[in-house]
A and B are shown apart, each in its own frame.
Chain A
Amino acid sequence: MDLILVNLIDGLVTGLLLFMLSAGLTLIFSMMGVLNFAHASFYMLGAYFGFQISLALGFWMGLLIAPVIVGLMGAAVERYGLRRVHQYGHVPELIFTFGLALLIEELVQFVWGKNQMPYDIPDILNFTAFAIAGNSIPAYKIFMIFISVAIFIGLLYVLTKTRVGMIIQAALSYPRTVEALGHNVPLIFMGVFGVGTALAGVAGVIAGPVLGTFPGMAFVLGSIVFVTIVIGGLGSLWGALVASLLIGWITTFAKSYNIAMSDVLGAVGISPPANLDDSLLRDLWTVTSPQIADILPYILMVLILIFRPSGLFGTRNS
């Protein structure tokens, strides 16, 4: 029972972190119809900037400044890159962000090298918050949960309750009308892209110390973010939240309970073949749940796409 609680918290942390990334991506996608392949790269930039700033000014200044820099870079990318590519259509847009992802990874390697950065949890949060039956929960995890929840509530509030959110939502559906009312729609797009990438930057700054700050960190999370928003349904903020939590919990539980596939198959009543070593299916029998934990989200995605192509909460089709 206690272990379940610990896993629930761990999965929540993973899921909320994933949500922070997918929230920015969803925001950008639902606004501009652009799937930003470089989103995880901005997350990586956030982590690296956070590390660099924390060396000079400490973690908290990093948490404040790094997302701003990342957001400004994102805005610049929209203004000088995406807007130009937009005229060629959606596929070149997607290819552009893909190229950008490659370029940012090379750029990070160029500046910081290939090794992992010694980016550590700040001392003030480096203690055990509480313990559940001998399993300690670090304070940093609690901090991550609070930041993520605060961002979700803030985003939801801004988008649904404020005038800014109203204009943004209107610009999505009726760009011409909004423009005629005197709002600068391209500027709104630029701002949204900037905010979306800044969110990725925040995720990077707070995930950098726990998940490691290295050039491959964008690659590790890059495709899982896409899987998340596909599962949740493209463009749905609630869908992104639900899918993130689902993925967080599924992977955490699969990792902490060592379930062998042969037990599962045995329980269903299928017995292993007599000469296991010769069988082509032998891996199916020996595989355990921690081994497949990382690919469970992909399996989930394929299943969802087959049975509910628009995702859990999706309303729009391609």
Chain B
Amino acid sequence: MSDQFTTDPGKPAQRMRAGSMTLTLAPWIIATVLLMVLPLIFTANSALTIMNQMAITIIFALAYNMLLGQGGMLSFGHAVYAGVGGFACMHIMNMSDFFASFPLIVLPLFGGLFGMGLALIVGSFSTRSAGTVFAMISLGVGELIAACSVIIVAFFGGEEGISGDRTYAQPFFGVEFLQQIEVYYLTAAWLILSALLMYLWSRTPIGRMANAVRDNPERAEFLGYSARWVRFYSFVASGFFAGISGGLFAINYEILTEENLNTASSGVILLVTFLGGVGFFFGPIIGAVVFTLVQTVLSLQTELWAFYAGILFVATVMFFPGGLAGLLMMHVPVFKLGKARLLVMPYLKTLLPAAIGILGLAALVEMIFHLRHAATGDDEMTLFWTTFDSHSFWPWIVAGLVTLVGLGIARTTTPALRDAWAEATTAAKGMS
């Protein structure tokens, strides 16, 4: 994705290369091959589960970024569109006569259509305004529909949700979707298709105008575009792709509950998207991959994973509003000029001690948590593959020292890193 357009709100709109409509195929081919090969490398069932979850989250996050990154609309209730799409798919899956005429692989399309239908209704009044008002409407509508899950039992199944069985479908060219790997390839195919469609959408006039409306609605209106309709189209398209991810969720997990609709899920997708970076098309992909890994791997290690995720999120908003993708893209000019070598050593000198210091800090946090919340008498705790007594003196000293020394070294080497960075980028600016 070399000719990536930027949707960084901090940059003036004029810098966008609106004229380049050529689509580089290379990243898409690489991504497809990668998706084909991945299950051959990670063969374990748990890895497949994680990858399925990742793929579903990626589609959802890309759909979400269509609103947030491209349209500047902050939605606090977007899980609703994925959820309703998923619930609809589950009902369709349970209808015996549906599979007589359609194979399972088209099911997410219906999820998309239902998500789009709901977005049509909600968008008709919510896209009148942008910014804060839109954010609050989305929150209210999201809460409303989530609360309906307890009341409209026929559709949402109440507390226990609704479940289905994907294997009732007719075999599709001999594939019955009994195994996880078959579901994986189904999800991966939908991932490629939806990502490609969303990318193409972002290059249509509507997709471009969404950027313009985000940056300066008045100017866009002056050019003859209705800001409201541009927002509405983006919203509906986003609802469609969110619905597709919901449909895939239904196929993968075969159960949907209130959790798929509630504000917490909407919050998670905001977190994922922002962490990855809303300024770039591929940002949410990075966010979804990283977040799913954090969620699945870290949550096995510590009860406090949501706490760390929260800190990471707040730190990202405060210090790297471009997200992970923004951080990556900062280095592109450096690499283009072959100045990356300048940065290797300073990075090592700062980031390595900083990482060690942060691990020390995390150890302290874990120990405090254990001290406060473990059952009385349960003094043993295991941290970083070592078991020790959280009530004794030495572990605290060690963790404290590691933290202080690690962060201390990082602090002393930061100026050198800043200088190196300045050198690498000033040269870059001089060249371009």
Binding site for B on A (CB under 8 A): 33, 35, 81, 84-85, 88-92, 94-96, 98-100, 102-103, 106-107, 109-111, 113, 219, 223, 226-227, 230, 234, 280-284, 287, 291-292, 294-295, 298-299, 301-302, 305-306, 309, 317-318
Cα of A119 to Cα of B35 in the assembled complex, Å = 54
Whether B318 lies near A96 (C-beta < 8 A) is yes
- The interface residues of chain A lying within 8 Å CB-to-CB of B137 are 230, 301-302, 305
Whether B139 lies near A226 (C-beta < 8 A) is yes
Whether A92 lies near B128 (C-beta < 8 A) is no
Binding site for A on B (CB under 8 A): 9-10, 68, 72, 74, 76, 125-126, 128-137, 139-141, 143-144, 147-148, 150-155, 263, 267, 270-271, 274, 304, 306-307, 310-311, 313-314, 317-318, 321, 369, 372-373
Q: Given A106-B310, A301-B140, is A295 in contact with B74 using a C-beta cutoff of 8 Å? A: no
Cα of A107 to Cα of B310 in the assembled complex, Å = 9
- The interface residues of chain A lying within 8 Å CB-to-CB of B318 are 81, 84-85, 96
- A109 to chain B minimum Cβ distance, whole angstroms, is 8
- The interface residues of chain B lying within 8 Å CB-to-CB of A102 are 267, 271, 306, 310, 313
When C-beta atoms are compared, the residue in chain B nearest to A231 turns out to be B140
Q: Given A295-B144, A318-B129, is A110 in contact with B76 using a C-beta cutoff of 8 Å? A: no
Whether B9 lies near A103 (C-beta < 8 A) is no
Cα of A88 to Cα of B141 in the assembled complex, Å = 27
- A8 to chain B minimum Cβ distance, whole angstroms, is 25
Whether B131 lies near A99 (C-beta < 8 A) is no
- The interface residues of chain B lying within 8 Å CB-to-CB of A103 are 307, 310-311, 313-314
Whether A306 lies near B10 (C-beta < 8 A) is no
When C-beta atoms are compared, the residue in chain A nearest to B129 turns out to be A318
Q: Given A283-B152, A318-B133, is A223 in contact with B147 using a C-beta cutoff of 8 Å? A: no
Whether A91 lies near B9 (C-beta < 8 A) is yes
Partner of A35, one of B68, B135, B148: B135
- A299 to chain B minimum Cβ distance, whole angstroms, is 7
Whether B307 lies near A110 (C-beta < 8 A) is yes
- The interface residues of chain B lying within 8 Å CB-to-CB of A294 are 147
14 contacts between A and B (CB under 8 A): A33-B132, A85-B318, A88-B10, A91-B74, A95-B74, A95-B317, A98-B76, A99-B271, A223-B263, A280-B154, A282-B154, A283-B152, A295-B143, A305-B140
- The interface residues of chain A lying within 8 Å CB-to-CB of B307 are 103, 106-107, 109-110
- B367 to chain A minimum Cβ distance, whole angstroms, is 12
5 smallest beta-carbon distances between A and B, as pairs? A298-B144, A103-B310, A106-B307, A295-B147, A99-B314
When C-beta atoms are compared, the residue in chain A nearest to B134 turns out to be A318
Partner of B151, one of A33, A226, A295: A295
When C-beta atoms are compared, the residue in chain A nearest to B128 turns out to be A309
Q: Given A81-B318, A110-B369, A223-B139, is A295 in contact with B148 using a C-beta cutoff of 8 Å? A: yes
Partner of B144, one of A91, A226, A291, A299: A299
| Interface of A (DSSP majority class) | helix
Whether A283 lies near B128 (C-beta < 8 A) is no
Whether A302 lies near B144 (C-beta < 8 A) is yes
Contacts A95-B317, A281-B154, A295-B144 supplied; 6 other A-B pairs, CB < 8 Å: A110-B307, A219-B263, A223-B140, A305-B126, A306-B125, A317-B133
- The interface residues of chain B lying within 8 Å CB-to-CB of A283 are 151-155
When C-beta atoms are compared, the residue in chain A nearest to B263 turns out to be A223
- B240 to chain A minimum Cβ distance, whole angstroms, is 22
Whether A99 lies near B151 (C-beta < 8 A) is no
Cα of A106 to Cα of B312 in the assembled complex, Å = 13
When C-beta atoms are compared, the residue in chain A nearest to B214 turns out to be A91
When C-beta atoms are compared, the residue in chain A nearest to B373 turns out to be A113
Whether B132 lies near A318 (C-beta < 8 A) is yes
- A108 to chain B minimum Cβ distance, whole angstroms, is 10
When C-beta atoms are compared, the residue in chain A nearest to B264 turns out to be A219
Whether A298 lies near B140 (C-beta < 8 A) is yes
- B269 to chain A minimum Cβ distance, whole angstroms, is 12
- The interface residues of chain A lying within 8 Å CB-to-CB of B274 are 95
Whether A302 lies near B314 (C-beta < 8 A) is no
Q: Given A295-B144, A295-B148, A318-B129, is A106 in contact with B306 using a C-beta cutoff of 8 Å? A: yes
Whether A223 lies near B129 (C-beta < 8 A) is no
Residue of A100, A109, A298, A317 with most chain B CB atoms under a 10 A cut-off: A298
- The interface residues of chain A lying within 8 Å CB-to-CB of B155 are 280, 283
Cα of A187 to Cα of B201 in the assembled complex, Å = 45
- The interface residues of chain B lying within 8 Å CB-to-CB of A301 are 137, 140
Cα of A88 to Cα of B130 in the assembled complex, Å = 17
- A54 to chain B minimum Cβ distance, whole angstroms, is 20
When C-beta atoms are compared, the residue in chain B nearest to A279 turns out to be B154
When C-beta atoms are compared, the residue in chain A nearest to B152 turns out to be A283
- A180 to chain B minimum Cβ distance, whole angstroms, is 28
- The interface residues of chain B lying within 8 Å CB-to-CB of A99 are 271, 310, 313-314, 317
- A41 to chain B minimum Cβ distance, whole angstroms, is 11
- The interface residues of chain A lying within 8 Å CB-to-CB of B144 are 295, 298-299, 302
Whether B313 lies near A92 (C-beta < 8 A) is no
- B174 to chain A minimum Cβ distance, whole angstroms, is 35
Cα of A158 to Cα of B150 in the assembled complex, Å = 44
- A100 to chain B minimum Cβ distance, whole angstroms, is 6
Partner of B132, one of A94, A98, A280, A295: A94
- The interface residues of chain B lying within 8 Å CB-to-CB of A305 are 125-126, 137, 140
- The interface residues of chain B lying within 8 Å CB-to-CB of A302 are 125, 137, 140-141, 144
Cα of A88 to Cα of B140 in the assembled complex, Å = 25
Whether A291 lies near B151 (C-beta < 8 A) is yes
- The interface residues of chain A lying within 8 Å CB-to-CB of B152 are 283-284
- The interface residues of chain A lying within 8 Å CB-to-CB of B151 are 283, 287, 291-292, 295
Cα of A81 to Cα of B321 in the assembled complex, Å = 13
- The interface residues of chain A lying within 8 Å CB-to-CB of B132 are 33, 35, 90, 94, 234, 318
- The interface residues of chain B lying within 8 Å CB-to-CB of A96 are 314, 317-318
When C-beta atoms are compared, the residue in chain B nearest to A103 turns out to be B310
Whether A226 lies near B136 (C-beta < 8 A) is yes
When C-beta atoms are compared, the residue in chain B nearest to A112 turns out to be B372
- The interface residues of chain B lying within 8 Å CB-to-CB of A284 are 152
Cα of A149 to Cα of B322 in the assembled complex, Å = 45
